[in-house]
């Protein structure tokens, strides 16, 4: 297939496809799917070998967010049955992080719901980072607190943060359809603040919200142009009690095509399979590892993932290996660019997020060794009668610890 030969050749050279080529990836057929995965896999192995970076999430503050992001179970007015609690203490968060690192996680993502942090919140996170670094000085820490005010990114960097996470989520043209309490430009501004302070930019998207192929290509090219070092690809988890509860638009094949498109546009950038991996890729998750080089391990912010050991077994069985703490994630030339940009105070990067306005978005973390929370299951909406429509009865969303007082991953 000429398209895939062209994309593979470009990716091996670290070159970017045209918009038309990216759109063509999303338009490939199921008969061509394995060819698409194989082509993206060649590019992935060129820059990242067979390593898989593991990331672990600690949800510092859950629920009660004043933002109205329509995809989020923690949004203003959400009726989703999720855990709601205020800030974890530093020792609680450090214990949770320790469990994740013991399971193989190289990066710990500290997430808190809300529009953005107060200066007091920055102090809290600073104390938490100190407790985590005391136990493991080498662990990477990514912070996701929502929209940043002036000088807050500098304070996080000085306190030991390595990265800041804030997603663009969707294209600029359709952003107003999923949130009205802040703008696409607000998100870009926050990541520019983080990048200007010397923090690595982690920024991605959410697929499955009813967007078009053009929207997906727009946001992925925007992320590339803004210089995101890590691109989390979330697949919408349609929580009951949110406006997007009935948006079951994804199939495993569609998810793999989206991942492949993201890889071709970001050949030498960390591509992470984030929220919704288990819900939408299901038994085809191992194929995703041939495209992406990073995953979240175990549970997500307000929903459960598969067991952490199952993730580790999947990586091993698929012929991959967990990336070690001493190994560089990015290729040397990308790392040099990131370091130069950080040293020079460059502000051209994308908005990232382990969450939404705060930590609302679908992200994951490993709860290895943590006490089990009682969970309840929310069945998806009734399946359509038409044979050619998606069957939402095939999937259930498991809410994280609903009906208990146990903090996730604590």
Tokens (6 digits) for 295: 């995953």
Contact between residue 216 and residue 188 where contact means Cβ atoms under 8 Å apart: no
Torsion of CA 208, 213, 214, 220, to 10 degrees: 60
The CA distance from 175 to 104, in Å, is: 35
Torsion of CA 138, 98, 303, 164, to 10 degrees: -30
Active site residue 360: no
Q: Which of these is catalytic: 69, 144, 347, 360?
A: 69
The CA distance from 269 to 331, in Å, is: 8
Active site residue 354: no
**Measured between alpha carbons, how far is residue 182 from residues 148, 193, 211 in Å?**
12, 16, 19
Q: Measuring CA to CA, which residue among 328, 405, 326, 410 is closest to residue 369? A: 410
Q: Which of these is catalytic: 124, 257, 263, 272?
A: 272
Q: Which of these is catalytic: 107, 142, 255, 398?
A: 142
Contact between residue 265 and residue 224 where contact means Cβ atoms under 8 Å apart: yes
Q: Which of these is catalytic: 109, 255, 354, 363?
A: 109
Contact between residue 379 and residue 197 where contact means Cβ atoms under 8 Å apart: no
Active site residue 347: no
The CA distance from 316 to 280, in Å, is: 21
Q: Which of these is catalytic: 72, 144, 347, 354?
A: 72
Q: Measuring CA to CA, which residue among 369, 409, 377 is closest to residue 62? A: 409
Tokens (6 digits) for 92: 């609680």
Active site residue 109: yes
End-to-end, the C-alpha distance of the chain in Å comes to 49
Q: Which of these is catalytic: 65, 354, 360, 363?
A: 65
- Specify the residue for token string 């407790």: 131
Q: Measuring CA to CA, which residue among 232, 211, 196 is closest to residue 362? A: 232
Q: Which of these is catalytic: 51, 75, 124, 202?
A: 202
Active site residue 363: no
Eight-class DSSP state of 295: E
Active site residue 254: no
SS3 of 66, please? coil
Concatenated DSSP letters for 139-195? -EEEEE-SSPPTTHHHHHHHTT--EEE-B-BS-GGGGGGT-SSS-HHHHHHHHHHHH
Active site residue 257: no
Annotated catalytic residues are 65, 69, 72, 109, 142, 202, 272
């Amino acid at each position: 297939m000429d398209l895939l030969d062209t994309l593979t050749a470009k990716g091996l050279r670290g070159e970017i496809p045209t918009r038309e080529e990216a759109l063509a990836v999303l338009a490939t057929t199921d008969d061509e799917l394995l060819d698409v995965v194989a082509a993206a896999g060649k590019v992935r192995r060129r820059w990242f070998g067979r390593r898989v970076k593991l990331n672990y999430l600690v949800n510092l503050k859950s629920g009660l967010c004043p933002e109205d992001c329509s995809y989020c179970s923690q949004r203003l007015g959400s009726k989703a049955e999720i855990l709601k609690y205020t800030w974890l203490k530093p020792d609680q968060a450090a214990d949770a992080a320790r469990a994740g690192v013991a399971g193989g996680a190289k990066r710990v993502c500290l997430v808190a719901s809300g529009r953005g942090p107060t200066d007091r919140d920055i102090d809290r996170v600073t104390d938490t980072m100190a407790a985590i670094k005391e136990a493991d000085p080498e662990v990477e820490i990514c912070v996701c607190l929502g929209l940043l005010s002036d000088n807050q990114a500098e304070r996080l960097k000085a306190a030991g943060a390595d990265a800041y996470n804030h997603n663009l989520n969707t294209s600029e043209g359709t952003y107003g359809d999923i949130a009205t309490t802040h703008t696409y430009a607000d998100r870009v501004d926050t990541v520019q603040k983080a990048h200007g302070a010397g923090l690595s930019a982690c920024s991605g998207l959410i697929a499955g919200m009813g967007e078009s192929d053009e929207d997906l290509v727009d946001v992925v090219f925007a992320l590339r142009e803004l210089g995101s070092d890590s691109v989390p690809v979330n697949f919408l988890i349609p929580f009951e009690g949110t406006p997007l509860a009935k948006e079951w638009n994804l199939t495993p094949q569609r998810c793999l095509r989206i991942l492949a498109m993201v890889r071709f546009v970001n050949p030498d950038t960390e591509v992470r399979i984030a929220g919704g991996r288990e819900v939408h890729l299901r038994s085809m998750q191992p194929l995703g590892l041939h495209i992406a080089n990073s995953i979240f391990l175990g549970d997500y912010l307000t929903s459960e993932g598969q067991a952490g050991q199952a993730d580790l077994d999947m990586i091993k069985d698929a012929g991959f290996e967990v990336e070690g703490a001493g190994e560089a994630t990015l290729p040397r030339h990308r790392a040099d660019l990131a370091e130069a940009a950080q040293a020079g105070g460059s502000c051209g990067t994308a908005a990232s997020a382990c969450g939404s306005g705060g930590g609302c978005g679908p992200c994951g973390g490993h709860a290895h060794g943590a006490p089990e929370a009682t969970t309840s299951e929310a069945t998806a909406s009734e399946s359509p009668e038409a044979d050619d429509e998606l069957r939402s009865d095939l999937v259930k969303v498991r809410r994280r610890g609903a009906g208990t007082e146990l903090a996730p991953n604590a």
